[in-house]
Amino acid sequence: MKSAPTDAHQAFTARQYALLLIDLGQAAQAGKALEGIHTEQLSAEAKIELLHTQCQAWLQQLSVPYDHALLDQLKSSLWEVLKAYEQANRSVEAGLLLLDATQIANLDGSFAEALGYVTRAIRIFEEEGLTELMGNAQLRKGTLLYTWAQQDNPQFFRAAVEAYQETLKVFTKQAAPSVFAEVHHHLGVIYTDMPTDSKKKSIWAGVANSSFLEALEYFTKSEFPYEYGMICNSYANAFTKFPQAVLTDNYEKALFYYQEALDVRTTAFPFERALTLLNYLEASWRVGNSNEEFNEVRFQDMLAKAEEVKTLIEDPEMIKAADQHLELLAELRLAVSK
């Protein structure tokens, strides 16, 4: 790049270098590689390609909690690239951009907008006969509809299941085990949360249980610790919602899987760890005591976990939740000491 004879040569090389860094998972370095590129003399097409590459770097840098300023920047930049691709009749590339736009609109809470994007993408891939891309688009659609359903729109749960089932027709356990496991993780959560009458809750709990186990069969603790922690946290949440069994304590099972999640959600992942700690505390209040006596071990465990939350994050709502647990624990200690 330093010895490039023209701005165009430098920009071309910088873009290729940035794409390499993105493939290597070094998105921040990719963004820096694109900084300082002189674009005044570049063609409109070249400028669009540089902007698209910058968008790819930004997409890879998204993490919880999401930066809304970055989401807005991504949304406007992707829209600019999309318009250019559509004008050039680059339909497949436009379809891929629509998937990225779906992700951003979903994260930003613009669900109707996201559904419009992914529906257009699915139509493009169907027309082009691109089965795997269509399966990926159905995966995005399922995730979108599930997220939308969680926002007090339960009518989208079944549509999310249908989209995920379409995904599994393309990404089978043999052909794409990682995607198959990811979809089953989502299905496990949906089957748990989907509204149904009381007579069917046990049936859906059994189906959800099977999906979570399918996901954990692939995303093991040793090979995929981050994904393992995420699935275990979801599985534990599900146990707190399953109908209570006669011979087993679902909350005990929930605590087991929350602890499994905490084993891999270390302080290197403060937000995720704090979230699981708070989930653990909620379940701890509900778990049964075999002799109905004060459980000192559990009390100290809960006290330590509530205090740890406050050392991990600065989120006011999460700190408030931790303080509420600490207040309840103090009241419990006072009550048993009388």
User: 89-148, pLDDT tens digit by residue?
Assistant: 999 999 999 999 999 998 888 999 999 999 999 999 999 999 999 999 999 999 999 989
- Determine the Cα–Cα distance for residues 256 and 283; give it in Å rounded to an integer: 10
What does the pLDDT read at residue 36? 80
What does the pLDDT read at residue 292? 64
**φ and ψ at 248, to 5 degrees?**
-130, 155
What does the pLDDT read at residue 197? 82
Q: Is the dihedral of CA 232, 236, 237, 241 positive or negative?
A: positive
Residues of the chain with pLDDT under 50: none
**Is the Cβ–Cβ distance between 320 and 306 less than 8 Å?**
no
What does the pLDDT read at residue 243? 87
In the three-class reduction of DSSP (H, G, I as helix; E, B as strand; rest coil), residue 261 is classed as helix
**φ and ψ at 269, to 5 degrees?**
-125, 70
**Is the Cβ–Cβ distance between 160 and 146 less than 8 Å?**
yes
**Is the Cβ–Cβ distance between 313 and 271 less than 8 Å?**
yes
What does the pLDDT read at residue 66? 86
What does the pLDDT read at residue 289? 61
What does the pLDDT read at residue 46? 95
What does the pLDDT read at residue 94? 96
What does the pLDDT read at residue 335? 87
DSSP-derived secondary structure for 151-184? TT-GGGHHHHHHHHHHHHHHS-TTT-HHHHHHHH
Q: Residue 167: name the closest of 191, 183, 156, 188 by CA.
A: 183
